[in-house]
Structure 1
Amino acid sequence: MGSRAAAGLLVVAAVTAACGAPRAAPADSVPPPAPPSTSASSQGSGLAVLKPCELLSSTDRSSAGLTSLGEEKKIGASRACDWTEPGAFGVTLTLDERSGLEELKVKRKHSTEVEINGRPALRVADPKADNGMCAVLVPVAGGGSVHVDVSNTDFTGTDLACTRAGTVAELVEPKLP
């Protein structure tokens, strides 16, 4: 083997060794580790990706007796949508990322356990008061809940308000995490 061939082999060996050997990166080029994720979409209820006014399609609204578009609003820290049928009733749909069904059972008077499309839920109404108000609270996977509140304009007819709240809850439930 000639000296040129031997020198070429040494260069190839040196390059191969350098490419395969681990090298330490300069300290300023190493990115810091990512902090653990605490967003609602990666932990918690999964409600963060939902938009309350989009949970009822035009067909759903028609089934629930709603003819108007919903109006986005905030209730405390929760996102909500409000539909109003002038002279008849209103529906508010609230995405509560903090309170699950167990916490709500403790906080609510006049609550009854019900099922919405096979999912355990809670109906809150005071039939004796007959104040035209009813809420259906549906839990979501990972915690949190969706509240469907119905208020009749004349503040009577609690049974009708509960029927309306149940209808809306049944329409929304398949879209929940």
Structure 2
Amino acid sequence: MTAIVIVIGTLGISACSGKEAGTATPAERDSSTTSAPSVGNQNVFANMNACGVLDELVAGDGFQPGENKTARNECVATKTRYGSAGVVLDPVQGLEEFRRTDPDSVEIKINGRQALRSHDSDGFCDIAMKVSESARAIVGVSPVGSADFDACTDTKKYAEELEPMLPKVQ
């Protein structure tokens, strides 16, 4: 799997299927990032901002504030001599699309929720969690340089913290 140059690593590849026109505008952080929103909306993540969620997940871990560099609801935060952590809230692609992108992904459970883990030889690690047949949340860690840690350990920690914030599985 090829890493995306903006330190998203496999997170960017597994999360995107095409380009969307528009300008990304970060939403203000509010309490909607801390509790699971209603699933009644067409966009199950309409009330969630990936940067607000990510900043909450990595708070106290030495990361820069998260940045959204696309029109999608995704965010990446960087940390010197570590790499990056990211969150993608994808209302249109489910776990099947994730598996098609990475057929070697492994089925796991995060706090009882169905998920897939993808790990490559460069050390990148993503965990995609099911929200519905056509929606998923992805958290990932991409080490840089000689970062000496297991990205999947950190990815699992962040996934376990993110899972209770997500809408209940439809």
Give the TM-score range, shorter chain.
0.5 to 0.7
**% same residue:** 31
Residue 97 of structure 2 corresponds to 103
Contact 1:132 1:156 in 2 (8 A): no
Aligned with 1:61 (options 54, 58, 73): 58
CA RMSD of aligned residues (A): 2.3
Q: Which runs of 4+ in 1 moved over 4 A?
A: none
Residue equivalent to 2:123:
132
Corresponding residue for 2:153? Answer: 163
- With the length of structure 1 as denominator, give the TM-score of the two structures: 0.64
| CA–CA separation in structure 2 for the residues paired with 1:44 and 1:155 | 42
Residue 17 of structure 1 aligns with which residue?
none
Match of 2:13 in 1: none
> Is residue 128–residue 137 contact of structure 2 (8 Å, CA) maintained in 1?
yes
Which residue of structure 1 lines up, in the alignment, with residue 136 of structure 2? 145
C-alpha deviations, 1:51-93, integer Å up to 9, x for none? 01111454x3247x3432211232xx52211110111120111
Query: How many Å separate the matches in 1 of 2:104 and 2:62?
Result: 27
Is there any run of 5+ residues in structure 1 with no aligned partner, and where?
A: 1-40
TM-score with structure 2 setting the length = 0.66
Q: Which of structures 1 and 2 has the bigger CA Rg? A: 1
AA partner of residue 52 (structure 1) = A
Q: Does 2:78 correspond to 1:81?
A: no
Conserved in 1, the CA contact under 8 Å of 2:83 and 2:147?
no
- Alignment partners' CA distance in 2, 1:141 and 1:66: 33
Looking at structure 2, the residues matched to 153 and 138 of structure 1 have their Cα atoms a distance apart, in angstroms, of: 24
**Shift of residue 155, structure 1, vs aligned partner:** 6.4
Given the superposition, is the C-alpha separation of residues 139 and 155 from structure 1 closer, same or farther in structure 2, using an over 3 Å criterion?
A: farther
| Corresponding residue for residue 15 of structure 2 | none
Count of residues paired in the alignment:
129
- Is the partner of 1:55 in helix, strand or coil? helix
CA distance in 1, matches of 2:64, 2:133: 32
Q: CA deviation at 1:95?
A: 1.3
Q: Which one has the bigger helix percentage?
A: 1
Structure possessing the higher relative contact order (Cα contacts under 8 Å, 6 or more residues apart): 2
Unaligned segments of structure 2, at least 5 residues:
1-38
